[in-house]
Amino acid sequence: MQSGELMRMTGSRGRARWTRRGTVAPALALVLMSLYPAQPTARASDLKLPSLKGITTVVGSDMGWMNVRLPRDVDPWGTYEGSVDDQPAHDLRGNGRVIGFVLTEDNSEVPLGQGPTLVGHSIGKCMKRGCRARGFLVSWIFASNLAERDGKQVLPAGRYRLYLIADGAPVRMRLEFAGLKGKTRLSPQNRVQSKLKSLRPHVEGDAGESLYWAGTSSDLSGPGFALTVLWMEGDDLEGGVGTCIYEREPPPQEVAYVPPCPAADMSDPNLISADDAEVGYFGLTLPAGMGVWRTVPETPERAGALALWMRL
């Protein structure tokens, strides 16, 4: 499965919940469900790994990963039986330009990121490492390559890698899994190779319609979590949006990331957006270059962009 295919599912689970950062992060859920083979027999060493629980709290302030065990098949969207009804199953809180997690099966038979995977992220709408997150933010939750059990799509039991996405400021995430009991607190410590860049959007056009675009490249490649986002704050942000993704070294910026991005390997099908506040792309294979653009009828109050490459 190609990384871009993750973004072609545009429906939501209808679980959007909206609050401000510091109480309950809002959650939008997208899922690409595909059949996945039965799991191999668990290794004895896997039984010694920290186990995910009904409420799993993940904390830290920098990128990191750890191996964990999922003791049974779970609904990735299911809410723990003891939780408050008006809270999303997975709650992301913290400061920094971006926070989030990747939970992906660690199976030698498939590359990391290509087996059952659950991903969540939230954008801080600020520009410096460890910066204070601003405003009314959205948490995106995605799943891919889920297994099918009795007609239901599940994260299958087994050995996983849990990655923490953090930006030099404390992060606290609550992951809830229906059917699992107990509580646990985890702090991924293994170092992660990553690059996180703040981007100042380029602006073209006049007051009638302005084009904002941003993009950059990286030499990190292979399995990984890739994310680029252009965010804005303002009253009227409706307009055209798009992304420009390159598997090989992109051309100069003014060609690579300005629509229609004729040399791009992937574009609009990989788009994510949230109530006109954020537009971008994410995938589970690291591209050579990523860019995003949008047109707006009025000048936004604030605008910024970022690009993240994180090796799995």
Over residues 48-52, the mean pLDDT reads 94
220 versus 20: which is more confidently predicted? 220
Which domains, ranges and CATH numbers included, belong to the chain?
3-186 (no CATH), 194-311 (2.60.40.1170)
pTM of structure: 0.84
pLDDT at 259 over 60: yes
pLDDT at 243 over 80: yes
Confidence (pLDDT) at 242? 87
pLDDT tens for 270-291 read 556 655 567 888 899 999 999 9
3-state SS of the chain is: CCHHHHHHCCCCCCCCECCCCCCCCCEEEEEECCCCCCCCCCCHHHHHCCECCCEEEEEECCCEEEEEEECCCECCCCCCCCCCCCCCCEEEEECCCEEEEEEEECCCCCCCCCCCEEEEEEECCCCCCCCCCCCCCCEEEEEECCEEECCEEEECCEEEEEEEECCCCCEEEEEECCCCCCEEEECCCECCCEEEEEECCEEEECCCCEEEEEEEECCCCEEEEEEEEEEEECCCCCCCEEEEEECCCCCCHHHHCCCCCCCCCECHHHEEEECCCEEEEEEEEECCEEEEEEEECCCCCEEEEEEEEEEC
